[in-house]
Amino acid sequence: MKALVTGGAGYIGGTVAAQLASLGHRVVILDDFSHSNRKHAPRGIELIEGSVLDRPLLDRTFEAARRSAEPFDCVLHFAAFIEVGDSMKRPEIYFENNTCGSFSLLQAMLAAGPRRIVFSSTAAVYGDPESVPIREDARIAPTSVYGESKVMVERALEWLNRIHGLRYASLRYFNVAGAPEEEGGVLRGEAHEPETHLIPLVLDVALGRRPSIRIYGDDYPTPDGTCIRDYIHVTDLAGAHIAALEALDSHDRIVCNLGNGRGFSVREIVEAARRVTGHPIPVEVQRRRAGDPAVLVASSERAKSLLGWEPRYTDLDAIIRTAWEWHQKRYIA
């Protein structure tokens, strides 16, 4: 197949693009590098610099491929802003980039592009769940602008499937972590500017780059008072995307959760990082952040049965160990 991967220079998009290329598929990456680094893009893959908000660029990209002997067969869409806390401060930016950017891409696809898309969605669409583990038929009630920006795209995809026959897979991620094996000399792991995700922040403390790790809220209704999240290794996540793409041959609409099916609290993450790194990691407790549900844990049974997918990394220490190995190299590379 020939695939367009938006946001393909990023942490997740780059891992998926590299896996697709390793399987012999033709891959083209579209990325504006607003939240990624060119040096982390998979090597040997065609790269277009630009935004999904640039409709003329999308039209030219699809039209050029259509006129050639190699039109695009599919799109994997990762280009989005992902910070829950930031979305509650700058909602207009998230609706513009995540929602309007996706609509721009979908319009270009309907005009001249492929009719299959794998969409990077999120567990944030569920908000505060009524029961755990969360199934795909659970109530959709996001508590953050980030989650709402993704819900709006999911709803559009459903209508475009009904009306235009657009085949889609919407994959609702839980917390993605870890680092893939180094490929082609490219080091890729979880890093954001500014960094807001727990595991890289904890590892920064272990490296002495931060004095302590901040825990936002220790009064949640959980065993140790801190938020509980489901962590999935980025390599497992990438494999699920490829499985979903293949499943669109026989299904026109797929909605799946992707997670480990087991939750870990913020304090458990800190303790695991202490074990893996051998470093003391001081903790500083802060007030809760707006938009953070107490517990998010996936039921991934649908992905396992429908996609034939099974996560390989189920042990928390193993996931953090891959992140730690990469994290120690990132400041040297």
Look up the CATH architecture of domain 2-178+231-258.
3-Layer(aba) Sandwich (3.40)
146 is a catalytic site residue? yes
Q: How far apart are CA 271 and CA 164, in angstroms?
A: 50
Burial class (CB in 10 A: 0-12, 13-18, 19+), 273: buried
Displacement of CA 333 from its chain's centroid (Å) = 24
- At 182, the pLDDT band (50, 70, 90 cuts) reads low
What's the pLDDT tens digit per position in 236-266?
Answer: 999 999 999 999 999 999 999 999 888 999 9
Backbone angles phi, psi at 180, to 5 degrees: -75, 165
Look up the CATH architecture of domain 198-229+261-330.
Alpha-Beta Complex (3.90)
pTM as predicted? 0.92
Q: Is the pLDDT of residue 113 over 90?
A: no
What's the pLDDT tens digit per position in 30-59?
Answer: 999 988 878 778 889 999 999 999 999 999
What's the pLDDT tens digit per position in 260-317?
Answer: 888 999 999 999 999 999 999 999 999 998 778 888 899 999 999 999 999 999 899 9
What's the pLDDT tens digit per position in 183-232?
Answer: 655 567 887 777 888 999 999 999 999 999 999 999 999 999 999 999 99
Q: Which of 11, 126, 146, 168 is catalytic?
A: 146
Domain ranges of the chain: 2-178+231-258, 198-229+261-330
The pairing of strands 253-258 and 283-286 is unpaired
